[in-house]
Each structure stands twice: as C-alpha cells, then as structure tokens.
Amino acid sequence: MPSAAEQLAANINLGVFAKATELKKRLWFTLGALVIYRLGTYIPLPGIDARILQDIFQQNAGGILGMFDMLAGGALSRMTIFALNIMPYISSSIIMQLLTTASSTLEALKKEGEIGRKKINQYTRYLTVLIAALQAYGIAVGLEGMTAGVDSSAVVWGTFEFRFAAVVTLVGGTMFLMWLGEQITARGIGNGISLIIFAGIVANLPHALAATLELGRTGALSVLVIFGLLVIAVLVVMLIVLVERAQRRILVQYPKRQQGARVYGGESTHLPLKVNAAGVIPPIFASSILLLPITAASFSAGAGSGPEWLTTLTVLLGHGQPLYLGLYTALIAFFAFFYTAVVFNPTETAENLKKYGGFILGIRPGRNTADYLDYVLTRLTVVGALYLIVLSVLPELLISHWAVPFYFGGTSLLIVVTVTMDTVAQIQSHLLAHQYEGLIKKAKLRGKRV
C-alpha cells in the first residue's frame, strides 16, 4: 500500500497534469503523428505481389533484412512506403558525426553555433536522400532477382517502371518520416526519430508474446521456461535502467575572481560522464556487418547462383555459432570505444575548461586534464562495452539454444527502455515548468494586491 506522502504526491501530479494544457496538446500531437506512421507501414509499394513477397521474406528473414524489419515495425517485410523507415537518416547523421571529427572545415562549421548547426543539418538531409535512393534502388533490383518458386517473382511491373516507382516512393517515405520526427521533437514530447523507432519495435511486441505463449501451449516450451524468460526480461530492464542512469561525476572547480568590490566565481560543478556513452550504436553496427554475408548468400540463392565459400561462411556465421558470437562480441567492443571517442573529445573538453578557468582538483589544466579524462573514460567504456555485450549476446543464446522467439530483447529492449526514460523525463520537466509558472503567476497576483 502506498504511504500517505506518496498518495499526496500522486494527487498533486494528477492535478498539475490536468491543468497542463500545453503538455496535453504535445502528447496528443505525438500520439497522432505515431498513428500516421503506423498507418503508413501498411500502404504497399506499387508493383508488388504481397503473397509472393511474404514467402521471399520468410526465406531471408535471418539476415540483415530481419533486423531492419524489426526496427521498421514490419514495414520492410510488407514492403510498404515506409520500408526504409528512418534508418537512412540515422546512417547519414552518424556519417556526418564521423566527418565532423575528420574534416577541419566541418569542425569549424560546428563551432559557429546555430548557423553552423543548420548547415550541417542541411548536409545531413542531402546525404539522407542519397543513401535512401541507393538503398531503394538496391531493394528494387534485389526483388527483381528473387523468386519464391519457379518463375514466382514478387515484381509484377516492368523493370524501369518498378525501379522508378520504388526509388521515388521509398525515398519520399523516408523523407516524410524525417520531417515527421522533426515535428514531433519541436511540437510534441520526446525525440521524434527515437519515438518512431520505438513505435515500430513495440508494434511487433504482441506478436512476439503470442508466439512465445503458443510454444508453451503446444508443449515446445515448458511453463518454467516461459516464467524464466519473464524473469530475465525484468532483470534486463532493471540492468538497462541502472546502467543508462549511471554517471561518473568529476568535480570541476572554478576560481574566485574580483571585479571592483564584488567577488565572482568560486563555485564547483560536476562533469558527468556516462557509463554507456555510445548508446545503441555498437550492437546495431556489429549486427549489420555480421548479417551482410547471410543476406548476400540469401540473395544469391534466390537468384540461383552464388559462390560456395559464401554459403560456408553463412553457416559459420549462423546465430549462436561460436564464430558469430566471438566476432559479435569483438565488434561491439570495438564500436563502443570507437563511437565514444567520436562523441567525446577529452582534449577539447580540457581546453574548454582551461579557457573558462575551470580545473579538476589535483590535476593540472591542459594536457594533464585531457589525459585524466581519457583515463576515466576508457575505464567507463570497458564497463559499458561489457554491458552491451551481455545485453546483445543473451538473446542470441536464447534463440539458438531454446528456439525462443525472444524478439523483445537485446538491441530492441535497449532502445525501448532508453526512449521511455527520456520521454518520461521530458514529461516531468514540462510538469515542473508548469508548476513554476503557476507559482510565478500567484506571486504576481499577491504583489498587485499588496
């Protein structure tokens, strides 16, 4: 039973939420945008035979298509207008981040403030169109060469007509989702791009749960195993919440300075370093690289050709195989360190602290501070990489050893939990801002009466 204080706090929050009209408008806008996105995942691409396409996709679901279909909420397996989802934009954003660290021109543009940020966003959109067009053309060509049986192609249009329609439709769908995500971020609640991926993953959750319960009903899985899966899911969620909230706070001190009769500064603050600074990028990159041979072998088999070594490599890189797990672990660790080095630059941070007079207690400003931050960040990244490895390998073991449709695990669970935490934090900040606005208005009214 909740205590009296907890019940009172809940009643206050409900009262504040009922009066927060701006927050409710944002929530309704976000919900409406996500509904539009889900409707679009059922509008088929022109020139496609849906029945044959389903058979083809079932033959290739073990490759990279299966992972992208998970992030797209089933839109890729149905080959709809949102089949590419928002992934080209995410790939473009990551590429621009890498180019910013490698190019002095882009790095200088990034430091120009709002103007530079708008130019980089514009370049990111251009790159998104290019990546989406290449992926759409590749999907169109791949579908033309794949069959579900003897002369059973999923494409019912002519070659030129289908390729042109596929590229225009899929690129338009991706750009619309990019615009929709930006609108959610500006006029709704949470990060729009993350919420679109979140909605796609959660939409397939009922199907995964139903498949697991069906295995229990038919006797393929015992009740004890199903209960164990639920316990594992709860423990994994707790682990994600614990690690994603964990920070290493480095104390930063600012010296006192005197201007005339006043003394400024002298305060201390914290420099927060996340345990998992790379986020969900390492598992996605590692999965994409390892699943490419499987997808290529499936395409070659569908076209009736393919080298023997590719088939052998596909067998060795099957889910749950020692080579696959070993390479998967190594790639996650590599991308965890690589992407952390991209998003956080110890030398630049140390220079900024020195510029504004800040210093870490016991550490000399400049080079020594950069070395200390790099040392701390390396130790944190080791823990973060181990956390990502455990989180990503666990579903692979469950799928390969117990044949469990543990869809809601690993990368997908990490995305869902982190997006949920960020969205809830934004809702709480809006409620807090509304409370402050109410207090300020009351204070003004009392001042006028006095």
284 occurs within a structural domain:
yes
**In contact, 384 and 333? CB cutoff 8 Å:** no
Closest CA to 85 of 207, 203, 254: 203
Question: Does 252 share its domain with 186?
Answer: no
**In contact, 389 and 383? CB cutoff 8 Å:** no
pLDDT attached to residue 333:
92
HEC assignment per residue over 189-232: CCCHHHHHHHHHHHHCHHHHHHHHHHHHHHCCCCHHHHHHHHHH
Residue that finishes a domain, picked among 150, 170, 203: 203
Residue that finishes a domain, picked among 175, 203, 231: 203
194 occurs within a structural domain:
yes
**In contact, 98 and 137? CB cutoff 8 Å:** no
**In contact, 388 and 285? CB cutoff 8 Å:** no
pLDDT attached to residue 9:
46
CATH of the domain at 216: 1.10.3370.10
What's the domain range around 192? 24-203
Determine if the pTM surpasses 0.85: no
Q: CB neighbours of 126 closer than 8 A, spacing ≥ 6?
A: none
311 occurs within a structural domain:
yes
210 occurs within a structural domain:
yes
Three-class SS state of 317:
coil
Question: Does 246 share its domain with 352?
Answer: yes
Closest CA to 64 of 51, 81, 76: 76
Question: Does 173 share its domain with 269?
Answer: no
> How is residue 126 written in tokens?
């251009």
Question: Does 392 share its domain with 273?
Answer: yes
Closest CA to 139 of 198, 72, 92: 72
Question: Does 31 share its domain with 122?
Answer: yes
User: What is the average per-residue pLDDT within 297-307?
Assistant: 54
Distance in angstroms (rounded) separating the CA atoms of residues 291 and 294: 5
| DSSP structure string for 53-115 | HHHHHHHHTTSHHHHHHHHTTTTTTTTBTTTTTTHHHHHHHHHHHHHHHH-HHHHHHHTTTHH
Question: Does 180 share its domain with 307?
Answer: no
Q: Is the pLDDT of residue 12 over 50?
A: no
pLDDT, one tens digit per residue, over 328-384 is 899 899 989 988 888 888 888 888 888 878 888 888 888 899 999 999 999 999 999
Of the pLDDT bands very low, low, confident and very high (cuts 50, 70, 90), residue 1 is: very low
Question: Does 149 share its domain with 231?
Answer: no
131 occurs within a structural domain:
yes
> How is residue 269 written in tokens?
């603050």
Count CA atoms within 13 Å of residue 193 on its CB side: 13
Count CA atoms within 13 Å of residue 189 on its CB side: 24
pLDDT, one tens digit per residue, over 215-258 is 778 877 778 877 887 888 888 888 888 998 888 888 888 776 66
pLDDT attached to residue 219:
75
User: What is the average per-residue pLDDT within 1-30?
Assistant: 63
Question: Does 165 share its domain with 279?
Answer: no
Q: Is the pLDDT of residue 214 over 70?
A: yes
CA 181, distance to chain mean position in Å, is 13
For residue 310, the tally of other CB atoms under 10 A from its CB is 14
CA 30, distance to chain mean position in Å, is 18
13 occurs within a structural domain:
no
Question: Does 234 share its domain with 361?
Answer: yes
6 occurs within a structural domain:
no
User: What is the average per-residue pLDDT within 184-211?
Assistant: 84
Of the pLDDT bands very low, low, confident and very high (cuts 50, 70, 90), residue 176 is: very high
Residue that finishes a domain, picked among 203, 237, 256: 203
Q: CB neighbours of 300 closer than 8 A, spacing ≥ 6?
A: 306, 307, 310
Q: CB neighbours of 366 closer than 8 A, spacing ≥ 6?
A: 350, 351, 354
Question: Does 133 share its domain with 249?
Answer: no
What is the number of domains present in the chain? 2
157 DSSP assignment = S
Question: Does 72 share its domain with 221?
Answer: no
> What Å distances lie between residue 355 and 114, 176, 365, CA to CA?
21, 42, 10
Angle in degrees, 0-180, between the axes of helices 346-355 and 367-402, rounded to the nearest 10: 140
5 occurs within a structural domain:
no
Closest CA to 295 of 135, 450, 74: 135
User: What is the average per-residue pLDDT within 42-70?
Assistant: 70
**Which range among 48-57, 75-84, 237-246 shows the weakest confidence by mean pLDDT?**
48-57
**Which range among 35-39, 72-76, 444-448 shows the weakest confidence by mean pLDDT?**
444-448
**In contact, 59 and 303? CB cutoff 8 Å:** no
Locus of tokens 């749950």: 320
Question: Does 170 share its domain with 240?
Answer: no
